[in-house]
Structures are given as structure tokens and as C-alpha cells.
Amino acid sequence: MAALLKIRNKSKLLATIIGLALLAFIAEGLFSSIQSTRNERRLNIGQVNGENITAQEFQDMVEEFANILKATSGQTSFDDMQMTQLRDQVWNNFINYKLIEHEAEELGLTVTDAEIQSIINEGNSPLLNSSPFRNPQTGRFDATELKNFLSNYEDMKNSPDNMTPEIREYYTNIYNLWMFLEKSLRQEALQNKYTALLQNSFISNPVCAKDNYEGRINESDILLAAVPYTTVPDSTIQVSDADLKAKYKEYKEAFIQTNESRDIKYITVQVSASQADRAELDKEMAEYSQMLAEGQEPAKVVRESGSSVAYFSLPVKKEIYPRDIAAQLDSMSVGTQNGPVYNMADNTLNIVRLIAKVSMPDSIEYRQIQVAAQDEATVKKTSDSIMTALNAGADFEEIAKKYGQTGGKVWLTSAQYDGAQLDANNLKYIKTLTETPANQLVNLPIGGINVILQVTDRRAMVDKYTAAVIKREIDFSKDTYTKAYNDFSHFLASNPTLEEIEANAQKNGYRLMDYKGMQNTEHYVANQRNTTEALRWIFNDDTKKGAVSPLYECGNNDCMLVVILTGIHEKGYLTVEDVKEFLTSEVIKDKKADILKKELEAAKSIAEASNIKGAKSDTIKHITFNSPAFIRSIGASEPVLSGAVSNSAKGTYKTAVKGNSGVYAFQVLNKEKNNETFDSKKEEEQLSSQQLNAARNFIMELRMKANLVDNRYLFF
């Protein structure tokens, strides 16, 4: 009994202890859940229709697309801006496809292998016509060319020693391109099926067709009195909280946002060259100019100068050079030199020395047989034997087939090598092709093999240039940047809050900028490159309203940035405060309209309406219901006038018509029909097309339904 009493007396204490333990258990679970969510966010780059997209999956897609672009364009790398654009393209294409794939799955739409083969055989897809498998005569995709390539690719895989590493790499790149195109064809086919289904769901009818026709052919001429809202001063209008709430309710559905956004203020400091920096560059450029004029090796001088334009080993078309350099070449004689000259467009000093000017074919048709063996003696013996047979009249393609090659003719254009930095073997190969006369056979030793070459055609002779170009940006020195950095750092240390920055920025030579509604899909803060860290700071859950960011170095290592977070808008409906500026302007417009409508209602004729203070008179002709009336006197389009005028008989006077830019009174002077003949079928097709165009933003509707999550800013 005593023990029971003790338990009763301590029951409150036990309950408290149990409660705390339970709370700790719940808190631990909640903390684990939060940690799990954060870890998932770190791994996943996004989500569509509940399906996670990992960072690795996305990176694989980006790398695949980048490799395809490199293989097709000849470009070996992409700068930061190009990679950003590339990622955007990959992301949007992937998301759009996933959205349509989800809809197609629910509808039972599929694409079969037989359909893909049919598309390939027809060869009409733009994707196919952008491939290298084109007929040399027509320039269009040719399924036979594809089949031949795939057959040659299999031969290469089965007998890799018959081809050089460069050729094997070439075949592999083209094969990977085809795999990418085939996958893209399948995606395109599914998207086309879905779009066709959507398109066929939009139909019109004879009644709508007749209305559309009448709305276009019935024209009215009016005498107009326009009283713009600007005639009533804003200062005379009072806007209450109740007014704003009422207007918000009216427009609420327009204020929904599918992504969270932030409001920021920021300061950027752009560093530029000082007078001392410019003087130092002038001195360097004078020295390089003298070195070129003295006849020193141009490639060496250009390389040592740090020029942004490389020295090209082969003559190139002038278009390969920057525009300001290309513009000088035609007027220069070989051996002459210009500069140093300042170019404002890219803020550079430039020296140009023309080394050579030659006429060369822009396109070369050729064929080849590669000879590879275990030792050089065998290579030489075999290649000499082939040359002997060919010179004796043997068929080129028949001999090529004996060595597992086609010997087919291919075209080489300047675009494939102009401006490229070629190694010794490639330089020797291209130079041989460009200099060999048509139909001549060449036995070219290159890279441990021999290549039997025959140029079969040379077309489009163009002027090409060899020039030594030294182009140097007028850049700031390390000392100049350090001073700018120290000055800005000192300002921020002395003004650590938004209020202090606002009060003192202008006094210290800094400009505080304002930006509302920033989203994390915007890759650059303050239009500056390399601001990923600043973007992550802005959208970090721990960054609170009013916080001032660290000082970020950004741009092309020539800019500094500080950001202040001034507003946070979560996904969903914006608040009244978020859109207060817009709501206020709309309320003011409504109240001005009420004032002006009373003035116009008192006018009993168009003449009286035209005498109202601030009114502008105008005669407007050919108003139709289908097109908004344009008021030249106030520079505004007014759809409401088109409806009101079209519904009024000749001679009618109407007043107090509220528009977007003012209030109007008008008198109908004339009504007539144009001579267009009614064609019901044509009108229905036009309406269906208009409806389809309006519905082409279905992707945006699907995006809203899919609850997209885009966390790319956390990774790139």
C-alpha cells in the first residue's frame, strides 16, 4: 500500500518523464526525416510527376549531348555560358519528353520498332537530314548511306587492325551520333503522336465560322474622343487596403507561381584598366609590333604575345578571323602590317601582319585506301604495289575492297578544318589534299601507315590568308583589382546592414540595384557569370530576409558582387503585399475611369466629349470585331472599342467606354463590308488552327500539373 501511494504521488513526475522521452523520440524521427529530405535534395537534381532525377543521370545526359555536339561541330570544348545553354536545352528537352511520355502512357500511345524503321526509310525527319548520312547529289538523308555506314562499322569492329586509331575513333563517334539520333527519333515520334491527337481534338463548326467571317469583313469608321487616364493626377486618388484586397480577389489566379522566388538588392563593382595598365600594354604591343616588322618567326611571336587569336598553320578564309581583323585583310598587301590599333567593340589593341594570300578550293572530293601492317617495310611494299596497280588502270574501289575498305568518294570542306589547331599528321594530311591536283594519286606516309589518296574534284576557289594577329584586351592589373577589392570590402565592413548600405552606397560611388521575383532557374545573379555561389546563398533555407551576403568575386574574374535578400515568396499564390504595386496601379486606373466616365456621361455629343479637358479627337477607320482598335493619339490598342463599335449601328453615339489606357466616346460614321467571299470550310480550318496555336502552351499546363522540382542551381 505504501508503495502504491509513492507511485501515485510521483505519477505527475513519471508522466513528465515519459512525455519528454516520447517528445525526444518524435523529435529524433522528425530530425531524421529532415536530414533524409536534405540528403535526397543533395542527390536529386529535380523531380517530374513524382519521379526523381539524380544529378548523375542528368550529368550523363549532358555529357552525351555535349559529345554529340563536339562530333558534329568539330568544337573540342564549351565555355561556361555555352555549357549553361547546353544544360538548359538538355533539361527542357528531357522534361518536355517526360511530361508527354507520362500522358502518352495514360493514353496508351506507343512507338514501335516498325514505325521507327518506316521513318528512317522515308527520311523526312529534320533529325535525319541533320545527320551525316546524306546523298552527295541531293544533300538529303539517304537510308542506303546509313546502311553502308553501319555495315562498315561492323567490319571495323570485326577487323580493327585494318584501320588507324584516328579512323576507328571517327567511326565510333559517328556511331554514337546515330545511336543518339535513333533515340531522339523515337522521342520525336511519340511527341508527334501526342501533338496530332491534341490537334485533332480542336474542331470548329459552321456557326463559329460564320461569326469569324462576319467579325473580319464588317468594318466601321468612327469619330473618337479619347480621355487618357494621365489627365487625372495620381496624387488625387486614395487607395485603401480594402481596395487592394478587392482587386487582389479579382486577379488572384494570375498571381500563382509554380516556383519559389526571391527579391534582392545588389551592388556590382566592375573592375577596369587604369591609366597605368593601359600604358604598360602600349609598351608591350610596341615591342611585338617591332618583332614582327623585323621578320621574327610569326607563330612564335603570336604565341609569346598572349594573343587571343591563334596563328593558323594553314591559310584560312578571312571569316575565321574576328570581324575587325577580317575587315583589314582584303585591303592589305602581303608583307604589310597594321597597328597597334584600338578596337572599341571588344576593348582590344590589335596588330595584323599579312604573311600570305592564296587561292584554294573550298571543297575537295577525294577517296583513299589506308595501308597498315606490323612493320614499315610491309606497309611500304603493299602501298607501292597498290600505286603500281592503280597507275596501270586498276579500279580504285575494287582494290579498296580487298583491304576491307569502300574506297568511296567523300567531300572535305574548309569548314571542317579552317581555324582548327592541327597536329603534325593532320596538318600534313590536309595540306596534301588541298595542294594535290585533281585525279593525281599520292602515296602519303603518315603516322606509321600509308594512305593512298586521290583528289577527284576541286570546287569553289576562294581567297585564303595566313596572318599574324596579336589581339590583346586592355585589361586591369593585379594591383588595380586589389585596390578595388579592398575599397569595396572596407565599405561593406563599415556598412553591414541593408539600412546602412542604402544610406551610404551612393556617397561611396556604389549603385544599389533592386530586382524582384528572381527564380532559381536564372543562372546568373545581376547578369554576371560565375555567380553560382551567390544564387545558392539567395535560395538557401537558412538565408533570412534582410541578410547581407558575403562579397563574391564573379564575372570573368573582373567583377565583385554583394547581395541583400529583401523578400521571400514561396511556391503558390503571391500575397497582396507581393503584388501591391500592380494592384495599386489597377485600383488607381479604376478610380480614374469612374471620374472620367462621369465627365463623359455628361457630354451629349461627340463634339461636347471632345471639349473635355485633356480629350484627344481622332478619326479611326476599318475597325473590325476581330482586331483591337489602335488609338494613334494616345498610342494604345483597345480591344473593348472593337467590340463596342462593331455592335453599334451607323450614326450611333456611345460614351463612357472604359479601356486600358483611357475612357472613350465615339460616333459611328460609316459601316461597310469588304468583298471577301465566305468559305465555311476555310473559316473552320482557320479557327481550328487558331485554337491549336492557343493550346500549344499545353506543355506549360503539363508542367504545372507535374509539380516540377528544379534544383539544378545546387549543382551547377
Instruction: Tell the residue number behind the cell numbers 548523375, with chain if given.
Output: 56
Residue 624 and residue 676 in contact, taking contact as beta carbons nearer than 8 Å = no
Element containing residue 700 per DSSP (H, E): helix 698-705
Q: Which tens digits make up the pLDDT trace of 260-317?
A: 899 999 999 999 999 999 999 999 999 999 999 999 999 999 999 999 999 988 899 9
Q: Which numeric CATH code is attached to 260-271+477-570?
A: 3.10.50
Residue 157, C-alpha cell as written in the block: 569492329
Q: Longest Cα pair distance anywhere in the chain, in angstroms?
A: 124
Amino acid at 622: H
Contact 97, 191 (CB under 8 A): yes
343, 474 Cβ separation under 8 angstroms: no
What whole-number distance in Å separates Cα of residue 665 and Cα of residue 652?
11
Planar angle of CA 288, 290, 295, nearest 5 degrees:
100
Q: At 132, is the pLDDT very low, low, confident or very high (cuts 50, 70, 90)?
A: confident
In the predicted model, what is the mean pLDDT of residues 384-399? 91
**Is residue 492 over pLDDT 80?**
yes
Most confident residue range from 115-129, 187-201, 483-497: 483-497
For the 277-473 domain, the top CATH level (class) is: alpha beta
Q: What are the helix (H) ranges across 542-657?
A: 580-601, 606-610, 639-646
Nearest to 567 by CA among 578, 582, 553, 558: 578
Task: Return the pLDDT at 27.
Answer: 40
List pLDDT tens digits, range 444-455.
998 889 999 999
Residue 91 has pLDDT above 90, yes or no: yes
Report the pLDDT value the prediction gives residue 42, as an integer from 0 to 100: 58
d(CA 567, CA 283): 50
| pLDDT confidence tier of residue 662, bands split at 50, 70 and 90 | very high
**What cell was used for 81?**
555560358
Separation between Cα atoms, residue 461 and residue 458, nearest integer Å: 8
Q: What is the per-residue pLDDT for 347?
A: 93
Q: Which residues contact 443 (CB under 8 A, 6 or more apart)?
A: 383, 384, 387, 450, 451, 452
DSSP 258-323: SS-EEEEEEEEEE----HHHHHHHHHHHHHHHHHHHTT--HHHHHHHHT-SSPPPSS-B-GGGS-H
Give Cα separations from 497 to 103, 348, 501, 546, 551 (angstroms): 50, 39, 6, 8, 13
Query: 457 - beta bridge partners?
Result: 365
How distant is the alpha carbon of residue 40 from its chain centre?
Answer: 29
Q: What's the rounded mean pLDDT across residues 334-362?
A: 93
Mean pLDDT, the chain, integer: 88
Distance CA 48, CA 50 (A): 5
Q: What is the pLDDT of residue 696?
A: 67
Are residues 202 and 688 in contact, defined by beta-carbon separation less than 8 angstroms? yes
Task: Give Cβ neighbours of residue 441 (< 8 Å, ≥ 6 apart).
Answer: 387, 390, 391, 452, 453, 454
Q: 388, 455 in Cβ contact below 8 A?
A: no
What is the structure's pLDDT at 187? 93
Which of 123, 124, 176, 122 shows the shortest CA–CA distance to 149? 176
- 651 contacts: CB under 8 Å, gap ≥ 6: 667, 668
What's the mean pLDDT in 413-434?
85
Q: In whole angstroms, give the CA distance from residue 56 to residue 635.
A: 53
- pLDDT, tens digit, 9 for 90 and up, residues 365-383: 999 999 888 788 888 899 9
Lowest-pLDDT range of 157-171, 583-597, 665-679: 157-171
Residue 576: name the closest of 239, 234, 265, 232 by CA: 239
Note the residue count of the chain. Answer: 716
What is the C-alpha radius of gyration for the chain, rounded to an integer number of angstroms? 36
Residue 212: is its pLDDT beyond 50? yes
* Average pLDDT value for residue range 345-349: 94
Q: What is the pLDDT of residue 687?
A: 85
Domain range summary for the chain, segments of one domain joined by +: 2-41, 220-255+579-673, 260-271+477-570, 277-473
Cα 334 to its chain centre, rounded Å, is 41
Average pLDDT of the segment spanning 631-652: 93
Cell numbers placing 696: 500549344
Task: Find the Cα–Cα–Cα–Cα dihedral 71, 75, 77, 78, rounded to 10°.
Answer: -110
- Burial track 316-349 (b if 16+ CB lie within 10 A, e otherwise): bbbebbbebbbebbeebeeeeebbbeebeeeebb
pLDDT, one tens digit per residue, over 550-577 is 999 999 899 999 999 999 998 888 899 9
* Least confident interval from 416-420, 578-582, 688-692: 688-692
H or E segment and range at residue 562: strand 559-569
In the block, residue with C-alpha cell 604575345: 305
Model's pTM, two decimal places? 0.66
Q: How confident is the model at residue 35 (pLDDT cuts 50, 70, 90)?
A: very low
Q: Is 526 in contact with 561 (CB distance < 8 Å)? A: yes
Lookup: cell for 159: 577487323
